[in-house]
Chains A and B, each alone.
Chain A
Amino acid sequence: MTQVSEAPERVRPRGERSLRLARLVGAKIGGGLVSLFLVAVLGFLLFRVLPGDPARAMTRGAPVSAEQLAALRHRFGLDQPLWKQFLDFLVNLLHGDLGVSYTYSRPVAELIAERFWPTVLLTGTSTVIAVLLGLWMGTRAAWRHGGTFDRLSSSVALSLWSVPTFWLGLILLMALGVGVGPLPGLFPVSGMSAPDVPPGLLPRVLDTAHHLVLPCVTMVAVVYAQYLMVMRSSLLEEMGEDYLTTARAKGLREDLVRRRHAVPNALLPTVTLIFLHLGLVVAGAITVETVFSWPGLGLLTYEALRGPDLPLLQGTFIVLAGSVIVMNILADLLYHVLDPRVRGS
């Protein structure tokens, strides 16, 4: 939250300002790189402290001789000292090589690439919907603070927020996918496409959209509450500020005051928080994809838990954590570029 409440900068000469911006961008990117490096270290260490022999895990219970085990260890460099293993790991990581999955006998990077876009589709769609819904409802709730809408929307949001994502998914799946009593299942329960889809773009898009409905609704339901509450409270805070009183005193109409002044200023901290909490969206993706068998990174993570398939788990860990960090750096930069106080007038 310190990012949010930084003191406004004084306006400075143009040249100094762009220099300052460049330094800031450099610092942010540098910090981000350090974070990414830490993720790599964590990813490496976590899966090395595991009790047991990775070489044996690779054989998935197949009968192997001691020689075969030794050969495996040698092949994957497990007989090297730890620091050497880490260096190799880093070099491979920079080349986009995340090792080979035990379960699929295929490169982890390839598996992740296949699953990347479905996750973007699901999380992207639901984040956009949740953000728009949350911001709109939050604004309304704050503006009519204490009214029926405020109380109703806040309690609904809080209740949904208290529900475990996967459970909501299961209930929706049972009610709308499987069907209850005489009610037939309206939506598909699993996957991203039906086995038999007629050729052509339109049926396929329709089919994907049809499959997207339930997972998307589940994610939106659990996530939007947070945006609502954040927007509501930052708008409430904003409404207490002096300049709004000034604006009103100037005779501006109430909804103009809201639209021109309060909302834009309240949006900035909200958007930052949205990005800061992207980890929650990732968590949602893991459970929602598991419930609805959506073929994305979350489901891949879940699949990797069986066994466990350590290289795959390590890969998804690094990619998920890494992308959240990258998104945060981007948001941070965006914030500094867009913030009217930083930009100067």
Chain B
Amino acid sequence: MSAPATPRAIAWSRRGATLAESWRVYRRDRGGLVGLALLVVIVALAVLAPVLTDGSGLNVTRVDAAPLQPPSASHWLGTDESGRSVLLLTWWGARMSLVIGLAAAALSVVIGTVVGVLAAHFGGWTSTLLMRFTDFFLVLPALVLAIALSTVLTRGLGTIVLAIGVTSWPQTARLVRAQTLTVETRPYIERAKALGGGHRHVIGKHVLPAVLPLVFATTTLTVASAIIAESTLSFLGLGDPSRVSWGAMLKSAMDTGAVTAGAWWYLLPPGLGIAIVVLSFTLCGRALETVFNPRLRGVGA
């Protein structure tokens, strides 16, 4: 830390310090901590599912438990209409829901960041056009558009990710644009521009690093809404019924008449799973926002 070696090292140590400071602020948010802890546990369980459980229990031809049985010693959360353990399904369903949520959020944030940065950096006609476009999509009911997209495209994982990603980026775009505008007024960027730094240099070296923390916070929030969107699309029958996800489980529960049969053990776990994961992401996202947006910090907490 002491000896000023290369500029790179300085940058790194400065980043390390910022990170430590951010973590200190983050730690103060109790909700954020709870959310983070829950997420770590859930993600670990999801990743380790093939190690900790026997995946063959998902193969309908390999199970022989009675269908739609209430919770018992052998099946803690009961069984589904094919006699598979609801616990196992919920466990494995977490993988698919998380993957779809993360992929869709990533796509959405990439689109949003590109549009936002470009609109702010270039200004003029580009900006007007891009922001008109963004405003249009912001107002457009996202679910309606996602429904239309997933009806039109072939069913599958890619379609769901695309339908959610393509419809949920405008918020990010606006946020990133606002942040970029503030960043670009800073002296060092003015200086970089004056020194003849090209657009690519300015955006890549200065604007993006400054905007990324905020983007990270937004991503966390977007994952939450993407997971809800996935379950909603699956529920409407636009998902891929051959993959186990929480939304697909709820759809099967509906289709078999679990509501009439009072099979609460089939309806509750996937729904609670969604609620917990979404809540965790939301808590983390809000805490991160406080960290990266000092203005909020002053008023909140």
Number of interface residues of B (CB under 8 A): 49
Instruction: Give Cα A47 to B152, complex, Å.
Output: 7
Interface residues on A, range: 35 or more
| A283 interfacial by beta-carbon distance below 8 Å | yes
CB distance from A24 to the nearest CB of B (A): 16
Contacts of A47 in B (CB 8 A): 148, 152
Which partner residue on chain B sits nearest A189 by CB separation?
Answer: B259
Q: Are A163 and B141 in contact (CB under 8 A)?
A: no
Instruction: Give Cα A222 to B255, complex, Å.
Output: 24
Interface positions, chain B 182-239, Cβ under 8 Å from A, are 224, 228, 231-232, 235-238
Contact with B along A312-340 (1 / 0, CB 8 A): 01001100110011001000000000000
CB distance from A154 to the nearest CB of B (A): 9
Interface positions, chain A 215-271, Cβ under 8 Å from B, are 233, 236-237, 240
Q: Are B141 and A283 in contact (CB under 8 A)?
A: yes
Q: Are B141 and A321 in contact (CB under 8 A)?
A: yes
By secondary structure, the A interface counts as helix
| A66 interfacial by beta-carbon distance below 8 Å | no
Q: Are A287 and B140 in contact (CB under 8 A)?
A: no
Contacts of B259 in A (CB 8 A): 170, 173-174, 178
Q: Are A286 and B148 in contact (CB under 8 A)?
A: no
Which one of B4-12, B18-26, B276-284 contacts A? B276-284
Q: Are B299 and A324 in contact (CB under 8 A)?
A: no
Interface positions, chain B 246-277, Cβ under 8 Å from A, are 247, 250, 254, 259-260, 262, 264, 267-268, 270-271, 274-276
Instruction: Give Cα A306 to B237, complex, Å.
Output: 9
| A127 interfacial by beta-carbon distance below 8 Å | no
A35 with B299, Cβ < 8 A, contacts A287-B232, A320-B144 known = no
Q: Are B267 and A283 in contact (CB under 8 A)?
A: no
| A101 interfacial by beta-carbon distance below 8 Å | no
Contacts of B250 in A (CB 8 A): 164, 166-167, 170
Interface positions, chain B 102-148, Cβ under 8 Å from A, are 132, 135-136, 138-145, 147-148
Instruction: Give Cα A32 to B278, complex, Å.
Output: 34
Q: Are A240 and B144 in contact (CB under 8 A)?
A: no
Give 20 CB contacts A-B under 8 Å.
Answer: A38-B136, A162-B228, A162-B282, A163-B278, A164-B235, A167-B250, A170-B271, A171-B271, A233-B299, A276-B138, A278-B141, A279-B140, A282-B144, A286-B147, A290-B236, A305-B151, A305-B236, A320-B144, A324-B141, A328-B139
